[in-house]
Each structure stands twice: as C-alpha cells, then as structure tokens.
C-alpha cells in the first residue's frame, strides 16, 4: 500500500474489539474480588498476580497467548519461533513485578496432531524457556476434532515465578522526574498482528514473524545490581505505549527520545495513522523501565545481553497522559479512548 | 442406537489419536529433561509438577482444558457450567499430589466476544473456584478473528497449589494389599466427549453437560485426618481406569466392587464395547485413592461432602494390569494398547 494515502486502519476495523475485551477483563476483576485473600499480595489485573506462599516468599503467575501471530505462522508454514513468542509474552510479564521466572506450562490445542508442526512448536517453547531461564514444567496437548480445523491450532502459556516481599515491584514508587529507560523490541512482538495482517501484503509477513525479545536475564541483573532504584517495569503489549499508564495512575510520561522503529512497523505505518500506531504497537520499545537514577551502567547491562537500551524520557506529573516529542497527539488510558 | 448391535466405536474412530498424543507428551518430557533442576521435586508427566520455593514448601502446577465438551455446550447453547469443568480438571489434578489448590487462571480465546457467553463462562469459573477453594488470580481473554469462527471459542485452565515436602503424594508408597477407595463421578466429567458425541443423539446431550465433580474439600480433609495412610490419589481422566496405573509401575489393581455407572455412560455403553468404555470413561469412579487402612470413617468424609464413596478393591501385585470383577478383559498401560 506504499504511496497510497493513509487508510485510517484501526485495531477495531481489523476485527478486534479491544475496549469490549477490556471491559470484560474489568468484570472478571470485580467478580473475582470476593475471593480476595490476605495471601494475595497483588490481585488480577496487573502483569502478574502475586500470592504469598510464606511470610516473605510469593509466587507470581500469569497467562498469555500469541494472538493471531498464529495465522502468520500458518500462512508462512513456519512454526519454530511461535513458542519463543509464547514464553516471551509470559516471562516478560513476570519480570514486571520483579519476579524471577521459574516454570512454564503450555496448552496446545489442535484439530489433528501434526508431528512436524507440534515438534517445531515445542522446540520453540524449549528455546524460549532457555532464553528465559525457565523450566518447561508440563503442558496439555488437546486434540479436538470439530473445534479447530485439522491444520489449525491455538497456544496458551502459563508461567510461574518467585519474588520476595522486598523485591516486589508494584509501580507505587513511580514519581514525576524519574527517568524512563526504553529497551528495544525485535519487531512487532506478539501484539497488533490482526491489524498488521490486514495492512501488509503476505509477501511482507516474514518480518512480523520475528520472535518477541525475552528480557528476563538483563532485567534480573538490573534488579540485582540496582535494587531500590527500579520503580516500575512495563512490558509493552496490546495497547502499545498506553501500557506505560498501567502501573501508577497519578503520573504521566514524556517521551523525548524514541528508539528506532523496526522496519516491519515502519511499513505498517504507511497505512495506519501515527497515533493509532502508538496505541497498538511497541514502536521499537518492547520494555520500559522507570528508574530513580541516571546511571548509564544500567544501559550497559542490556547492551551486553544484546538489547539496545536508552534513556528515553521522564515520568511527568500530567496524570494519565503519554506525550511523545514531535507529535501533536497524546495517549491516554486504554479504557478512555 | 438402543437395540442395535455394538458399533465397536473407539476413541480413535471418533477422531482422537490418543496414542499419538501420548507419544507426543513423551517427547515433550524428554525435551524438557535437560532443564531439570534440583528444585523440581516432581517434573512434567504426572498430575502436577512440583517445584520447591523454599526448603519445605513447593508450588504444584498443572494445566488442562475441557476438550470437546465445548461442542456439547455450543450445541445446547448452555455455557454456565463449562467453567466448573475447567476448574475441576485442574483442581482434581493438583490434589493428586497432595497439594492444596490456591490459584486459578483461565485462557479464553474467541473469534468474536459475546458478552452473554463470556459472562456465563466466567460465572462457571468463579463457581468452580468457590467449590475448589481457589482464588481466580487472573486470565487472558483473546479475541482472534480468523483463528476461531465468530461463535466458537476455546478455554484452558492453569492452577497453582501449595504442598509441603512431608505432605507430597507421589505414589511411591503404593503397595499390593492396600485398599482402593472409589469416589463417585457426577457423570461423564470432561473426558471422552468426542466419542460420546459420536454415539449419542443430540437429544441425549443434556446429561453429558453435567459438570465435573470437584473433590478438593473432602480430599483435603482426608489428607488432614489420615496423613500417612493415603498412598496415592488418581484423577480418572482421559484413558479411563488405565489412569490407576499412572502412579506406581510395580503394582496392578483388582477392582471387585464398582460404583453405579451414570446413566449417560450406560447409554454410551449401548454402542461401545465394554473394554473400550473402561479405557475411555470414568465409569462411575471420578477419583480413586489408595489407602493403607480400611477405616470406614474415610468414606464418611466424602459422604458428608455429598460424594458417594466405597472401598472398591485392592492394589495387586500384577504389575501394570487393572482387573475388574465380572469382565474377561484387563486394562494395561495407555501406551501399550
């Protein structure tokens, strides 16, 4: 679609009703509230729920899928990286609460089991577990003729981590003036694929299959070396940069220096309004970290692990608003717009 | 099909390749072995994996789905009990290792979100969590146009429990001569639905939607009052009574007194060979417990919780074989036949 005027494609026009899905998540949270329990250090709705097993040690748990990245893999007949995405989506959520990822379980449901596809998917999951330092602790393989077409499948991941009370990161210490570290994404990661598939011709899909970066090892090093300086960790997933607003409602963000936008996202941007891009995709920033420090050594940790990272802006006092230098729009809370 | 000769329907002819699926599970186990870790008290392949968080406290984790019971709910337009099945399949697995179920997470993927269906499913999950004493700690709701048809969906459940080293049940203490307690099922539960759907006319499907029994509360009481006497707990799932052989390869089972077979399974049995029935369905026994005791008070615990239970037979020294009084077939390990 290069050269055409912007199509004003939105995530909604690609068939995903994100507001409806989020209103549903809100209903789940209210339904589940009556089950709240004093051992529940952090309930549903954040990146991971945290449940105290002992006075000082908790498990952090989360679940995720890879969305319609499945359909990209299916179209290209390439299945050996989806498992990396699946682990990444869960492991990167666990580190957002300061947890060390320990265990991974997969749910793999198919119409009819195809050994080659299944082996490729498991190989990807094992590779993802290695990158995240996790044990593949089990899984369920369900063959469901009639639910899925014979050569279609779905994947869900479930991850368990551990965190001590003093290491838990909640975002409550995020304050205006703190710095924001942006860690580079490796591409589209695993969100916004419905829109990407709609606007990119299939000949350009190879790039969007690039697996999601797994940030576990450098983040654990960062937490170890700079304990107390890290106030918030944000995995940029569905909702794009609006994820920055998830942790602390009393602040906003001012991003003054962006990382390079991956080629695949630049191509999508030829058909999609810029504001919609930042509301949907990671735009080059796979992980954001708010820090009470400007120590460049923090960036070195990511560089040594193969991830570009930079100081990209500051926490602002404009509550609930993300401003990005050079653009005249702002981003607000996902449920608002 | 009443009155017709048996159709020799098998699980394979209903489209489910159970041997292939299990061979795949074996491959996952061998792939994951290289990740083994000293904190992993029990690795993948059992009812739940168990990972030590401290010297004495471990998390037990498992994942499961409800299989093609989804299609029964879809055909009948009734969705408020599937969530109970989903929690049951996971919670009943956790208690098999002696764990107390704590947290539940769901993965709910749809083609297009339907508020009424989604609310009914979540209501069932919340009801299941209440019955199992679990907290609904989170979940993922994925809208995936193109993967699922607009009114189709899949559900996966993930559960986390806690268990101390001294309370862990591994089956290694199961010995010939111990008694087997059978706890009644409430119907077909959540396994064998592909075969059931194939042989029963849709007019008889209401019964097979009956939700799976959740055995958590009486089992925790039993473990509390009879600690040391409980040597094995077996959730009868896919593979029917062959599940008895999962815990301890050096023994067999002799079942001399069966519980009543639920009506729905009796109707299926009109079209399916008896041996195949016992290899596929729970045949009235949703849970089996091997005990080093013949104390009738153990049965009372289940009765008070609304579950019929009886001493149904003994552990035998005929390794890898389940004998059932009155039948000339025996059941062997799932991968053998």
**Number of domains chain B contains:** 2
Q: What CATH number does the domain containing B210 carry?
A: 3.90.650.10
B269 and B315 together in one domain = yes
Asked if residue B2 is part of any domain, the answer here is: no
Asked if residue B30 is part of any domain, the answer here is: no
Asked if residue A114 is part of any domain, the answer here is: yes
Pairing of strands A153-164, A100-110: antiparallel
Q: Is A59 helix (H, G, I), strand (E, B) or coil?
A: strand
Asked if residue A30 is part of any domain, the answer here is: no
Domain edge (last residue) among A167, A198, A230: A167
Tell me what pLDDT residue B12 has.
Answer: 55
Domain edge (last residue) among A167, A200, A234: A167
- Give every residue of chain B whose pLDDT is below 70, as ranges: 1-36, 150, 334-337
Q: Tell me the per-residue pLDDT of B177-228, one tens digit each, with 9 for 90 and over.
A: 999 999 999 999 999 999 999 999 999 999 999 999 999 999 999 999 999 9
Q: Chain B within 8 Å of A258 (Cβ-Cβ)?
A: no
Q: Tell me the per-residue pLDDT of A2-24, one tens digit each, with 9 for 90 and over.
A: 333 454 455 555 555 555 556 66
Per DSSP, B60 falls in state E
Distance from the first to the final alpha carbon of chain A: 27
Q: Which H helix or E strand runs over A314?
A: strand A309-316
Quick one: how far is CA B168 from the chain centroid?
Answer: 19
CA distance B324 to B316: 12
Closest-CA distance, B283 to chain A, in angstroms, reads: 22
Q: Chain A within 8 Å of B168 (Cβ-Cβ)?
A: no
Q: What is the 3-state secondary structure (H, E, C) of chain B?
A: CCCCCCCCCCCCCCCCCHHHHHHHHHHHHHHHHCCCCCCEEECCCCCCEEEECCCCEEEEEEEEECCCHHHHHHHHCCCCCHHHHHHHHHHHHHHCCCCEEEEEEEEEEECCCCHHHHHHHHHHHHHHHHHHCCEEEEEEEEECECCECCCCEEEEEEEEEEEEHHHCCCCCCCCCCCEEEEEECCCCCCCCHHHHHHHCCHHHCCHHHCCCCCCHHHHHHHHHHCCCCEEEEEECCCCHHHHHHHCCCCCEEEECCCCCCCHHHHHHHCCCCHHHHHHHCCCCEEEEEEECCCCCHHHHHHHHCCCCEEEEEEEECCCCEEEECCCCCEEECCCCC
Q: Chain B within 8 Å of A123 (Cβ-Cβ)?
A: yes
Q: Tell me the per-residue pLDDT of A32-54, one tens digit each, with 9 for 90 and over.
A: 554 557 888 988 778 999 999 99
Asked if residue B84 is part of any domain, the answer here is: yes
Among A residues 128-167, those touching chain B with beta carbons less than 8 Å apart: 129-130, 134-148, 152, 154, 156, 158, 160, 162
Asked if residue A2 is part of any domain, the answer here is: no
CA distance B265 to B196: 8
A187 and A160 together in one domain = no
From residue B298, how far is each of B233, B287, B292 by CA, in Å? 14, 14, 11
A108 and A214 together in one domain = no
Closest-CA distance, A33 to chain B, in angstroms, reads: 9
Asked if residue B14 is part of any domain, the answer here is: no
Q: Which residue of A has its CA nearest to B131?
A: A35
- Give every residue of chain A whose pLDDT is below 50, as ranges: 1-5, 7-8, 34, 337
Tell me what pLDDT residue A152 has.
Answer: 82
- Determine if the pTM surpasses 0.80: yes
B186 and B271 together in one domain = yes
Q: Show the domain range for B119.
A: 37-167
Closest-CA distance, B136 to chain A, in angstroms, reads: 6
Q: Chain B within 8 Å of A329 (Cβ-Cβ)?
A: no
Tell me what pLDDT residue B335 has.
Answer: 54
Residues of A within 8 A of B103 (CB-CB) are: 49, 51, 59, 61
Pairing of strands A57-65, B309-316: unpaired
Contact A63 B194 (CB under 8 A): no
Q: Chain B within 8 Å of A57 (Cβ-Cβ)?
A: yes
Tell me what pLDDT residue B135 has.
Answer: 93
Q: Closest to B129 (Cβ–Cβ): which among A35, A54, A119?
A: A35
Contact B147 A152 (CB under 8 A): yes
B154 and B199 together in one domain = no
**Residue A72 near residue A63 (C-beta atoms within 8 A):** no
B202 and B256 together in one domain = yes
A200 and A144 together in one domain = no
B202 and B288 together in one domain = yes
Closest-CA distance, B91 to chain A, in angstroms, reads: 14
Residues of A within 8 A of B148 (CB-CB) are: 154
Asked if residue A81 is part of any domain, the answer here is: yes
Q: Closest to B162 (Cβ–Cβ): which among A53, A103, A197?
A: A53
A312 and A207 together in one domain = yes
Contact B112 A152 (CB under 8 A): no
Contact A137 B43 (CB under 8 A): yes
Tell me what pLDDT residue B191 has.
Answer: 93
B294 and B228 together in one domain = yes
Domain edge (last residue) among B167, B189, B215: B167
B118 and B186 together in one domain = no
Pairing of strands A285-291, A179-184: antiparallel
B189 and B78 together in one domain = no
Q: What CATH number does the domain containing A120 carry?
A: 3.30.1330.10
Tell me what pLDDT residue B334 has.
Answer: 66
From residue A272, how far is each of A110, A205, A268, A283 by CA, in Å? 33, 17, 6, 13
CA distance A94 to A48: 6
């Amino acid at each position: 679609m290069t050269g055409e005027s912007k199509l004003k494609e939105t995530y909604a026009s690609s068939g995903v009703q994100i507001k409806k899905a989020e209103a549903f998540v809100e209903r789940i949270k209210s339904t589940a509230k009556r089950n709240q329990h004093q051992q529940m250090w952090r309930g549903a709705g954040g990146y991971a729920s945290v449940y105290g097993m002992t006075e000082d040690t908790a498990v952090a748990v989360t679940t995720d899928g890879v969305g319609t990245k499945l359909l990209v893999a299916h179209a290209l007949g390439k299945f050996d990286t989806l498992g990396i995405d699946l682990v990444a989506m869960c492991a990167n959520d666990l580190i957002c609460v300061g947890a060390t990822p320990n265990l991974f379980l997969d749910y793999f449901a198919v119409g009819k089991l195809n050994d080659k596809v299944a082996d490729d998917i498991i190989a990807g999951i094992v590779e993802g577990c290695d990158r995240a330092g996790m044990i593949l602790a089990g899984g369920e393989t369900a063959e469901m003729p009639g639910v899925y077409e014979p050569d279609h499948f779905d994947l869900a991941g479930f991850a368990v981590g551990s965190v001590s009370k003093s290491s838990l990161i909640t975002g409550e210490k995020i304050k205006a003036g703190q710095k924001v570290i942006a860690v580079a994404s490796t591409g589209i990661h695993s969100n916004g694929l419905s829109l990407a598939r709609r606007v990119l011709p299939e000949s350009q899909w190879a790039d969007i299959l690039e697996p999601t970066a797994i940030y576990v090892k450098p983040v654990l090093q960062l937490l170890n070396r700079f304990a107390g300086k890290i106030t918030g960790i944000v995995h940029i997933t569905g909702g794009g940069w609006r994820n920055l607003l998830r942790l602390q409602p009393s602040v906003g963000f001012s991003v003054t220096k962006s990382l390079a936008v991956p080629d695949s996202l630049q191509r999508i941007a030829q058909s999609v309004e810029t504001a919609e891009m930042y509301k949907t995709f990671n735009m080059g920033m796979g992980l954001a970290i708010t820090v009470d420090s400007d120590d460049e050594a923090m960036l070195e940790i990511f560089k040594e692990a193969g991830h570009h990272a930079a100081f990209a802006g500051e926490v602002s006092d404009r509550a609930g608003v993300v401003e990005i230098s050079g653009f005249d729009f702002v981003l607000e809370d996902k449920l608002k717009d």
